[in-house]
Amino acid sequence: MDIKILGPGCANCHKLEKLVREAVAELGLEASIENVTDYGQIAAYDIMRTPGLVVDEQVLVSGRVPTKTQVKELLAARAS
């Protein structure tokens, strides 16, 4: 699973990364997690607000920080 956190490195971006790392560990998934801070790369995903969560090149969340439960549900659905 390829996971990208889109954002300039703000507090919400760091919070989303923390939640994603916790969810991946709790679900026992194998995943690479990358922070994308380049505005050009972020714009390529056609999101207007950060942070963004991209899993296997599909934007799942943008403009908000989901709960850990929501992150786990999103990742579990993508893993199956």
Determine the 3-state secondary structure of 36 from DSSP: strand
- 40-78: per-residue pLDDT in tens? 999 999 998 999 999 999 999 999 999 999 999 999 999
Q: Is 13 designated active site?
A: yes
* Annotated catalytic residue within 3, 5, 6, 13: 13
Q: Is 10 designated active site?
A: yes
Cα-Cα-Cα-Cα torsion 31, 32, 35, 36, nearest 10 degrees, comes to -110
The 2-6 sheet, strands edge to edge = 32-36, 2-6, 52-55, 58-62
Q: How far apart are CA 39 and CA 52, in angstroms?
A: 12
What is the residue extent of each domain of the chain?
2-79
Q: Are strands 52-55 and 32-36 parallel, antiparallel or unpaired?
A: unpaired
Give the pLDDT mean for 16-41.
Answer: 97
Looking at domain 2-79, which of 3.40.50.410, 3.40.30.10, 2.40.33.20, 3.40.50.880 is its CATH number?
3.40.30.10
